Amino acid sequence: MSNLIEVVVPDIGDFDAVEVIEVLVAVGDTIEVEQALFTLESDKASMEIPSTAAGIIDEILVNVGDSVAEGSIMVRLKAVSVIENVEEATPEVSAGAVVAGQATNIYVPDIGDFDEVEVIEVNVAIGDTVEEEQSLLTLESDKASMEIPSTAAGVVTEIKVAVGDKVAEGSLIVVLCSSAATPNAVEPVAEKAVASATAASVAAKLPSALETAQTVVSTSKPAGRIHASPAVRKLARELGVDLAAVKEATGPKNRLLKEDIKSHVKRLMAGGISSAAPSDSGIPRIPEVDFSKFGETESKPLSKIKRLTGTNLTRAWLNVPMVTHHDLADITDMEAFRKSLKGDADKRGVKVTFLAFIMKALVAALKEFPQFNSSLSADGQSLIYKKYYNLGIAVATPNGLVVPVFKDVDKTSIFDLAEQMSVISKKARDGKLSPKEMQGGCMTISSLGGIGGKAFTPIVNAPEVAILGVTRGDMQPVWNGKEFIPRLMLPLDVTYDHRVIDGADAAAFVVALSGYLNDIRRVLL
């Protein structure tokens, strides 16, 4: 029926002996060409060794801790033809088949110097037919994960442990009903609804199992037990994929392959399917890393403001296609005018900053380009234009970033804006802003002028469609047609929602804004 094929270590570079740190298959596993068999680790890197042939694992010749070199025999496979695979996947089942046998207890074998190890995966369900050496559980210690194979073949009648339980050597984990080999023995082609602990009740449930055994080769994964090799499970853990959420299994007997995991991730990234991942982002989460392995660490919880800000920014980043346009505005004359107002400002007890002028100039630009003063409808089919001009100003506080909203900026004077900014900034730093004071914005300004920098790419504060970033202005030589003259130039960064605004409109908007800042008197026109 089959011939033994020896799979050897391929060319692994300039290494005489490399240590085996992980065995990814077990005796009895059906593997595909290029499926990972072992993980090796040198002093420079780790590498997975793929199979050069397809078949069933008959013998594993190396163990964790062994050192191997190019040409070392790793496993021997039974080569099985496609026809034989189909025959094995479609056993004949008669309604009168009786599974008879005796109970066999499966215990945790020697797992090394561990008193208790946590169960992280249960790989079988009641009613499953398992083969000798088939993986039953996955355990994980603080150093490694390991799969516990069955020491006998039979039908699972009881499972004595659950995910999260602690087990040790000798712990009873599964009870099997070991059956005699008969022509009518039922193999797990599809998941069977068998939930009894006795052989007689297992046989009584066979008709319902027959109903689910109609499809021999399927690309949809049945509910219940998840068929996947250790290498596939490892890949899923690295990518943050819940195996139960993968809808298609293209391997033999509905076995999950690495390609199924990768296809699932691609569909998540494309938005083709929803994800129930705790990150709520629709994409695999970043794998957790134990940084204490590399040195001393300290963990401090994020403030509530930072947690909420992170959620909002992530949602905006994932939903809004953003582009940032950078430019410079000449504010030499505006700055001279601002300084000339110092006497009047002192009488009012306020300090006029250039931010108040930027707000007035931005409103003038919004009136000229109303698509910037809009929001996209929830269904993405229409644009909602706003007839009011409320601006959000990002304020850094000890607990994180908050964005108070200044209402009716078009109707507010420079001095009143300066006064409002002084009051609201203090409330923000003291954590006394009300929710109402942070709602209703049309566009947001994020200013780093008091800190520094030349440019940055602010994230749109959705459902707004644009945000203005401002960094520190500095004196630069500007050619006026005859000579270079010193001018105070202010970097501007406008990030916009490309679904609503195209590049030409964004460039025109920034040019207009720069014009208003260059000659603030134009705001009055």
Tell me which residues are annotated as active site.
Answer: 498
The Cα–Cα gap between 313 and 461 comes to 7
Q: Dump the DSSP string for 240-273.
A: T--GGG--B--SGGGEE-HHHHHHHHHHHHHTSS
Q: Determine how many CB atoms are found less than 10 A away from the CB of residue 417.
A: 22
Residue 502 one-letter amino acid? D
Residue 312's nearest CA partner among 389, 428, 375, 403 is 403
The Cα–Cα gap between 161 and 190 comes to 24
What residues contact residue 362 under an 8 Å CB cut-off, 6+ apart?
391, 409, 443, 445, 468, 513
β-sheet bridge partners, residue 375: 384
The Cα–Cα gap between 256 and 248 comes to 8
Return the HEC string of 101-156. EEEEEEECCCCCCCCCEEEEEECCCCCCEECCCCEEEEEECCCCEEEEECCCCEEE
DSSP state of 458: P
> Do 519 and 351 meet the contact criterion of CB atoms below 8 Å apart?
no
β-sheet bridge partners, residue 172: 107
Terminal Cα-to-Cα distance of the chain (whole angstroms): 92
What residues contact residue 185 under an 8 Å CB cut-off, 6+ apart?
91, 97, 99, 129, 179
3-state SS class at 386: coil
The Cα–Cα gap between 341 and 415 comes to 9
3-state SS class at 39: strand
Q: What are the backbone angles phi and psi of residue 254, rounded to the nearest 5°?
A: 55, 40
